[in-house]
């Protein structure tokens, strides 16, 4: 069965009624790009760059970063490579980027806040991304966005470095939607972003006010909570005004129960664990957009994630 699925995974993914859904892979290391393409990835929707240099005591130089990014771009053979700017802090300590001790590290210097506070590293990273060949395959994704001004600040840096490198136009810059504020203000963010990618792991943590790594609450940290789904719907609505693509790169995209609901909420790209690509593509091909939308409507009205998990995908047409 797995072989049949893998053969199907090589095709572009369309729902049963012809709606196109792109299926990308989440990557953290070189070598994984080749595996992802062999599983049917149409590109990389999230490169977790903070995983690339974990064993080091000093910050990676522009050249070292470029070498890693170029290797992965080459593995993807010209398919898009969405590179997330370093997402330090919270659950991702970076040895070469010591951060001050905080009472609430998940609510403090995290993600792009760190980058903007320490712009040297951000400059080097942006330059490395701009130098990936062929120009345009690599795109920039900003983690942990809470406000329009953060994306504007990154864009200004990207424009500055693009000019210095003699690029005609800057490459695409997108925001991760991981805070409730970003979801609610998606329409404003859409004006300064080329694309959105929803990080359901953090969005769930911040919406439910439940630590994603705390075993005491782990069973309730579920992206299918109707509160989280409502924010995903708001993101898709906000994006629609400027026709921005909405992807999901958090764990929910790799969850066969969640994937059809995300599509029904207006998500058109799923970035998943490479090994899950055949299953997710195979599942989506059996469903229509109308079924996914009906399922999403029911999910939004459910009382709990547990109840959402009992909804029957097929019952949408019954």
**CB nearer to Mg ion: pick between 15 and 246:** 246
**Interactions with Mg ion, residue window 152-181 (CB under 5 A):** 178
Per the document, the length of the chain is: 318
Q: Give Cα separations from 21 to 14, 90, 139, 271, 311 (angstroms).
A: 6, 32, 19, 11, 22
Closest residue to Mg ion, Cβ-based?
202
- Which position among 42, 68, 194, 202 is part of the footprint of Mg ion (CB under 5 A)? 202
**CB nearer to Mg ion: pick between 21 and 145:** 145
Instruction: Report the run of H or E that residue 222 belongs to, with start and end.
Output: none
Report the nearest approach of ligand PEP to the CB of residue 62 (Å).
23
How crowded is residue 54: how many other Cβ atoms within 10 Å of its Cβ? 13
Q: Is-contact 194 139, C-beta < 8 A?
A: yes
Q: Is-contact 229 296, C-beta < 8 A?
A: yes
By rule CB under 5 A, what count of residues binds Mg ion?
Answer: 3
- Outline where DSSP puts E strands in the chain: 22-27, 44-48, 81-84, 138-142, 173-177, 195-198, 245-248, 269-272
- Which position among 179, 200, 207, 291 is part of the footprint of ligand PEP (CB under 6 A)? 200
Site map 22..61 versus ligand PEP, x via CB under 6 A: ------------------------x-x-------------
* Alpha carbon distance 151, 172 (integer Å): 12
Of the candidate spans 194-202, 227-235, 273-281, 302-310, the one that interacts with ligand PEP by CB under 6 A turns out to be 194-202
Instruction: Decide which of Mg ion, ligand PEP, none touches 68; Cβ closer than 5 to 8 Å per partner kind.
Output: none
Instruction: Decide which of ligand PEP, Mg ion, none touches 249; Cβ closer than 5 to 8 Å per partner kind.
Output: ligand PEP
Residue holding tokens 């590179």? Answer: 83
Of the candidate spans 129-137, 198-206, 230-238, 287-295, the one that interacts with Mg ion by CB under 5 A turns out to be 198-206
Instruction: Decide which of Mg ion, ligand PEP, none touches 254; Cβ closer than 5 to 8 Å per partner kind.
Output: none
Instruction: Decide which of ligand PEP, Mg ion, none touches 48; Cβ closer than 5 to 8 Å per partner kind.
Output: ligand PEP
- Which position among 40, 89, 199, 266 is part of the footprint of Mg ion (CB under 5 A)? 199
**Interactions with ligand PEP, residue window 248-277 (CB under 6 A):** 249-250
Question: By C-alpha distance, which of 137, 144, 151, 247 is closest to 191?
Answer: 151
* Alpha carbon distance 276, 312 (integer Å): 21
Q: Give Cα separations from 151 to 80, 81, 96, 154, 217 (angstroms).
A: 21, 19, 24, 5, 32
**Interactions with ligand PEP, residue window 169-188 (CB under 6 A):** 178
CA atoms within 13 A on the CB side of 53: 26
235 binds ligand PEP (CB under 6 A): no
Q: What is the DSSP letter of 288?
A: -
**CB nearer to ligand PEP: pick between 15 and 229:** 229
Both tokens assigned to 200: 């359901």
50 binds Mg ion (CB under 5 A): no
CA 313 to chain CA mean position, Å: 25
222 binds ligand PEP (CB under 6 A): no
Residues of this chain that interact with Mg ion (CB under 5 A) are 178, 199, 202
What residues line the site for ligand PEP (CB under 6 A)? 46, 48, 87, 178, 199-202, 249-250
């Amino acid at each position: 069965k797995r072989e049949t699925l893998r053969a199907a995974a090589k095709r572009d993914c369309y729902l049963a009624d012809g709606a196109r859904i792109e299926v990308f892979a989440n990557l953290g290391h070189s070598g994984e790009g080749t595996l992802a393409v062999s599983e049917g990835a149409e590109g990389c929707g999230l490169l977790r760059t903070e995983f690339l240099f974990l064993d080091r005591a000093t910050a990676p130089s522009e050249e070292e970063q470029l070498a890693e990014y170029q290797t992965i771009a080459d593995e993807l053979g010209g398919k898009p490579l969405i590179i997330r700017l370093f997402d330090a802090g919270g659950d991702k300590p970076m040895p070469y980027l010591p951060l001050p001790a905080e009472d609430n590290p998940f609510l403090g210097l995290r993600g792009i806040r760190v980058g903007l506070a320490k712009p040297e590293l951000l400059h080097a990273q942006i330059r490395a991304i701009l130098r990936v060949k062929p120009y345009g395959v690599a795109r920039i994704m900003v983690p942990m966005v809470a406000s329009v001004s953060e994306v504007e600040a990154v864009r200004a840096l990207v424009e500055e470095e693009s000019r210095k490198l003699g690029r005609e136009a800057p490459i695409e810059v997108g925001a991760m939607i991981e805070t409730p504020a970003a979801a609610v203000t998606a329409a404003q963010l859409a004006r300064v972003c080329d694309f959105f990618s929803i990080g359901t792991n953090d969005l769930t943590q911040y919406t439910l006010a439940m630590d994603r790594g705390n075993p005491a609450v782990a069973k309730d940290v579920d992206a299918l909570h109707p509160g989280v789904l409502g924010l995903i719907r708001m993101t898709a609505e906000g994006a629609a005004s400027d026709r921005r693509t909405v992807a999901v790169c958090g764990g929910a995209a790799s969850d066969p129960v969640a994937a059809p609901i995300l599509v029904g909420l207006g998500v058109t790209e799923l970035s998943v664990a490479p090994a899950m690509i055949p299953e997710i593509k195979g599942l989506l091909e059996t469903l229509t957009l109308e079924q996914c939308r009906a399922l999403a409507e029911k999910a939004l009205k459910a009382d709990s994630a547990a109840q959402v998990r009992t909804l029957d995908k097929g019952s949408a047409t019954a």
